[in-house]
Amino acid sequence: MRRNGGPGRFRRRRLPAVQILLRWSVALVTTVSLVAVGTPATAAAPVRITVSAVPATVHIGSLVAVTGQLKPPAAGVGLAVQRSVGRGWVTVAHVKTGPAGRYAVSLRAPRSTATWTLRVISAKARVSPAVRVRVVKAIFTVRATAATPVVSGAPTVVTGSVSPKATGSVALQVLRGAVWKTVTTAKLTRASTFILSSVQLPGRYPLRVVKAYTKSTAAGTSARLTVTVVTPPPSVTTTLLPAGTVGLPYAATLAAAGGVTPYSWSLPGGGLPPGLALSAAGRLSGIPTAAGSPTITVTVTDAAGHSGSLPLVLPVTLSPAVGNSTAGWGNNSSGQLGNATTTDSNIPVPVRNSGGFVAVTGGGASGYGLRFDGTVWAWGDNSQGQLGVGSTTNSAVPLKVASLAGVTAIAGASSTGYALRSDGTVWAYGEDTYGELGNGPGNVASTVPVQVVGLTGITAIAAGSATGYALRSDGTVWSWGWNVEGELGNNSITNATSPVQVSDLTGVTKIGAGYTNGYAIAAGGTLWVWGNGGSGELGNGVYASSTIPVQVVGLTGITAVTGGVNTSFALRADHTVVAWGYNHFGELGNGTTVKSAVPVVVTDLTGVTALAANFSAYALRANGTVWSWGNNLAGSLGNGTSVESHVPVQVSGLTRVVAIGAGSDGEGGYAIAGRLPGSG
């Protein structure tokens, strides 16, 4: 039997076995690797031929580049490019290998649509894998553009067109790893244009637009687009600056959100009150020398060079008159009312030698006052040296705390006093049984101020029963001292003699403290609490303690927070008050004695500007009056009675009050009635 097999004829019975195998092989050949006849398999590497065809989809009549390599490399080897026809193969081109065994040849696609299956074969019957080329009438041309950079949260918008005109849709794809993933699709308009939109997280993204196959038209893919998605530019989040006082150390830290940290702050227009300066870290500090209310425009610039600005008013008033009235009421067993007696009072009585006080607070059975000149004064119990005057003798009148100047804030624990200086350092004096002084191992009380170690850039302080808290300018919170209920918030119950960072808190703007709780206000006015929770003090709906911060449920827009003995209080942006926790004496102020693990509204209390608490709660209203509720031990409500109240009652005889205070576990309150010189 004879048959045609190319340029010559041959007898079937004389064909070598290898040629018979190749002639009748299936059209889709994957890999054939043969070893030279008579050579053991271990003596030489298999001969292989690689092949590729570019492009894989072409117009009718276009050129296709067929390239590859003979392995192991050998130059001058003749190869044939074959195309699958029916059940056989037809040679369509010849080529010889060049250096390194590489070859290349161009083929022209046919004049009709088809799918080519190609392979390359050598004279010794080495065969490459098969490749396919799709021949189509047309290929879509996709043109696409996208604006960059895009602010995170805003859509990435890609626009463009497809030609020739077509119906159907296009897909927007993003390269993730090594794979193109479709993120959205859009239909083509009558003009064969498109708009694709997708929101991406911050980052740098390769994108492309793809038009899908039709029966006679191949997919078209746009050139790669690279889009950068950036975080929103920074914006100043501080909307209100605290007022300054002529001659009194001033400290305030600006806050921002968005952009790429770290931030840098500046005042392009200047205009700061004389005596004040703004650091690049956003800290306003100094001692104002003149009164006024200038508007300053502060600018924050992020690490990417983006900036945001906001005008702020910085009011500076004259120094308080020496005749300012500071008053106290409640328990006076150790002289904590500062009126030169040890007799309790259920109405406010003047604190001696307290002229010029701008802040007042309590600590156990002691009182502390901050004077406008940056000095600190203390009175009452001094058994642990908590008056900071170098002795352990009680005093029923205020005494100047030793060697403290430039102080901007004060706080009091049960038997320890704290002061924040304008340089951002914290100082403590008094008891150190549990590490309250924060000055390292030793647990030795001090009758004079000692520096809390490792704290710089501090903008606010607070104190619990035996725990200290500090807020740094970077929005982190630090704590030290007693920790039996997790008051340190560092996921432990081990006391600390030096500051440790409270876990999982960033972007904090304000802090507070209760008897065995710490508080932090974060972005958006959300409130976070840690420590004792047995009476619901955490406000998260359960009656259990937590060694790390947990969020109070349902609260946003909080502007101030404080805690009493097992009860928590927060001031909302609408100047109303909410409370949660222990309520045996009506501390929640909602007319009941039922405790609550979630916030409840204090009854009939509006226009509130400040809060304080211990066994009782106190609120300063914008009209200068003070209101109290809860326990009335030793007259701590200050309303002339000894009867507890489950709703707010007015503290007797106080008007034009500008500041209030109360110790973490004391039994009474303090108020400063301020007036400027010549105000009558």
Residue 22, H or E segment: helix 17-23
Please give the backbone phi and psi of residue 271, each rounded to the nearest 5 degrees, phi first.
90, 10
3-state helix, strand, coil in the chain (%, to 5): 5, 50, 50
On whether the CB atoms of residues 413 and 438 are closer than 8 A, the answer is no
- State in Å, rounded, how far the first CA of the chain is from the last one: 132
Residue 412, H or E segment: strand 407-412
Residues in the chain: 680
Residue 238 has pLDDT above 70, yes or no: yes
Q: Which two tokens stand for residue 456?
A: 């710089």
Residue 21 has pLDDT above 60, yes or no: no
Give pTM, 2 decimals.
0.59
Q: How far, in Å, CA of 437 to CA of 581, rounded?
A: 29
Partnered with residue 151 across adjacent β-strands are: 230
* pLDDT 10s digits, 295-349: 899 999 988 788 999 999 888 876 544 446 789 999 999 999 999 999 999 999 9
Residue 607 has pLDDT above 90, yes or no: yes
> If you average pLDDT over residues 409-436, what whole number do you get?
96
Q: How far, in Å, CA of 253 to CA of 295, rounded?
A: 16
Pick the range with the lowest mean pLDDT from 20-24, 280-284, 473-477, 621-625: 20-24
The closest of 452, 533, 534 to 496, measured between CA atoms, is 452
Residue 674 has pLDDT above 50, yes or no: yes
Q: What is the pLDDT of residue 33?
A: 32
**What residue ranges in 589-677 does DSSP mark as E strands?**
596-601, 608-613, 616-621, 626-630, 645-650, 657-661, 668-673
Chain position carrying tokens 């009748």: 24
* pLDDT 10s digits, 131-176: 998 887 767 788 999 988 887 778 889 999 988 888 888 989 999 8
Pick the range with the lowest mean pLDDT from 4-13, 202-211, 488-497: 4-13
Q: How confident is the model at residue 664 (pLDDT cuts 50, 70, 90)?
A: confident
Task: Report cis status (omega within 30 of 0) of the bond before 549.
Answer: no
Q: Which two tokens stand for residue 117?
A: 């299956």
